Chains A and B, each alone.
Chain A
Amino acid sequence: MALLQITEPGESTAPHQHRLAIGIDLGTTNSLVATVRSGMAGVLNDQQGRTLLPSVVRYHPEGGVTVGFEAQSVQSRDPKNTIVSAKRFMGRSRRDIAHIETMPYDFVDGEGMVRLRTVQGDKSPVEVSAEILRTLCRRAEDSLGGELTGAVITVPAYFDDAQRQATKDAARLAGLHVLRLLNEPTAAAIAYGLDNGAEGIYAVYDLGGGTFDISVLRLSKGVFEVMSTGGDSALGGDDFDQRVFCWIIEQARLAPLSPYDARLLLTRAREAKEYLTYHGEAPITVKLGSGEYVDLALTTEIFSCITQTLVQKTMAPVRRALRDAGLRPDAVKGVVMVGGATRMPQIQCAVAEFFGREPLTNLDPDRVVALGAAIQANLLAGNRAADDDWLLLDVIPLSLGLETMGGLVEKVISRNSTIPVARAQEFTTFKDGQTAMAIHVVQGERELVSSCRSLARFELRGIPPMVAGAARIRVAFQVDADGLLSVSASEQTTGVEARIEVKPSYGLSDDEIAAMLKDGYNHAGDDAQHRALKEVQVEAQRLIEAVSSALGADAHLLDAMERARIDTGIDALRVTAISDDRRAIEAAIDALSRDTAEFAARRMDQSVRQALSGRNITEISS
């Protein structure tokens, strides 16, 4: 007999038509799945009652794939075929990956992103992630007793288009319908119900197993806006274990350890760390394979002392993120703690001290992101109570724009616009008779294309030949609810159209995003000047083009002296235009415009005469 859940009044569904939706926290170290049942968000456990699924996938030599604890346990025996932290490679090319030389994998360059060489062939990070998602999906279907309507999957706030697209592709590969991708800090905030609460600034402090992220969010009118992000992609709870591990070796004066003993000791170190969260002192007693005994007691004081620098290391990105957002710590209304490592009292103290308020810790920090995703999924699947009419929106993390002449960026959608969003702008041709236009889509905050990230290029062909500036090309940017972009361009008079779904070839690392954002602020002045220079340079080129084409058509209207003066003017402008003296270029433009004014007037007269000659008055007036 099927098992039922309590629904909201009037919302009960027909048999076999339950709208089952899940939230998935697809983490670097661990992943988990949650759902809302009978109005309550909860995580779904596996057969053994375990909530977390290690994000580890092993490809067996004899075929078949295992995911999770089983794969993790053989990681050291079969490192090349056991993929950990695939999330770090999502949407990344080889040169994007930090510390690639320390990883045990054979990386292969592939289209769009790296591949990992395994015994079962080259696997893309998307395929690896799909295995994790498939495992969670199966767990959810077993738990909910039916097919899923869809899932909300969380991604870090700094994930760019390529990484989001890769995540979405992984879900599709796993047979999951993605209702939405949701920023991890936003999901955590939803789990705490902050979205229903007061407007204001919130910080999300996320210390996972191997990564640290800080996000500053602003909630206004039900919309979470990511104001800034920061972090350290190589700092996490594992580093605390390592410190305890080193302390044990030092205290017990141990000789170099066998790999077995090292693993054993590292496990004991982690257990001791976790024990200290609720006790003042953790006993560490181990009998090593070498026959040596370890019998130590780790006190809170010692632990605080040996890990103090790690705690402080997390505060630097916090300060930076606040500075990027232009805020002081006391402007923050609430701090949400995410990630198992935030259970450590030392972390909670440091955060409380920095912000001058106690952080929110009453939800399980390992689960909070998945719970928020589940709540969002439940709403998106249509299981909402009658009086719940809130709509949650997210924002795009970096501005999207186009390259225009001179390598400048014309921003079409600015950073922090709420999504979904669609904006269009009109552009025109630069040369007479131009029949195609290259559209180069870029992402970033800087004014120059070379400082932004290239996302896609495509061409609009079949523009009818017209004089420069006459064509009207409408370029529309559309970002869907997942933050994925499609761009279309159409020539308005003829309706020729070209479009592209942006599947960027590679993405940005979080450090790069942070660096680009910071650059944007630091170089705002430089960029403005540079932009002004580029603009006059483009204007100079345009004028040279226009005059040259006029000379080609109507040189007979000029006498030799006039012609010589214009030629000199063009040459002079051509030379100054490549310099970076804005004023000189402006002066040369003015000079050439003056010298060609008479020429332009004569051309105008001539074309009027041509238009009128040979036709009688009735034809013209009709």
Chain B
Amino acid sequence: MITLSENAARHVSNFLSKRGKGIGVRLGVKTSGCSGMAYKLEFADTALPEDHVFESRGLKVLVDPKSLPYLDGTELDYTKEGLNEGFKFVNPNVKDECGCGESFNV
């Protein structure tokens, strides 16, 4: 189960409508980065047959089956830190992450 925070949902739907196309967002992980794995956050234009599709606050969240075990239970949030703003994965599976948090380990 993957969910969006209220703030994240507002921004995602805003970005999607500005972009003019897309069925939702795709979350995933890939192996790379300083702590083994890195998050992927993309616009989704098509759903693949094997994708898990979650509905959160009226938006579709797509996850490929390989990534799901690492992400299950994650809430996608949108926050501001100083001048910087963007999306944040609140992932209960993470054991440790690199200093910057861009890659992590489970």
Contact = CB atoms under 8 A, between A and B. Distances in A.
Interface of A: 1-12, 14-16, 37-40, 44-47, 139, 142-145
A6 B18 contact: no
Given A6-B25, A15-B103, A143 B42 contact: no
A6 B41 contact: yes
A29 B44 CA distance: 42
B34 A145 contact: no
Interface residues of B, number: 36
Contacts of A10: 42
A38 B15 contact: yes
B42 A15 contact: no
Contact of B83 (A5, A14, A142): A142
Interface of B: 11-12, 14-15, 18-19, 25-26, 30, 32-34, 38-45, 79, 81-89, 97-98, 100-103
A3 B88 contact: yes
Contact of A3 (B33, B42, B45, B84): B84
A38 B84 contact: no
A47 B86 contact: no
A142 B84 contact: yes
30 contacts: A3-B79, A3-B88, A4-B86, A4-B87, A5-B87, A6-B15, A6-B43, A7-B42, A9-B26, A9-B43, A9-B45, A12-B42, A14-B33, A15-B33, A15-B98, A16-B34, A16-B100, A37-B85, A38-B15, A38-B86, A39-B15, A39-B19, A39-B43, A40-B14, A45-B83, A46-B83, A47-B82, A47-B83, A142-B84, A143-B84
Contacts of A144: 84
A247 B21 CA distance: 52
A3 B81 contact: yes
Given A39-B15, A44-B83, A14 B88 contact: no
A9 B87 contact: no
Contacts of B89: 1, 4
Contacts of B26: 9
Contacts of A145: 81, 84, 86
Given A5-B41, A15-B103, A39-B18, 12 more contacts: A2-B100, A3-B86, A3-B88, A6-B12, A6-B15, A6-B41, A11-B42, A14-B38, A15-B33, A15-B34, A15-B98, A40-B19
A19 to B, nearest CB: 14
A1 B97 contact: yes
Given A16-B100, A40-B18, A5 B43 contact: no
A142 B32 contact: no
B7 to A, nearest CB: 12
Contacts of A37: 85-86
Contacts of B41: 4-7, 12
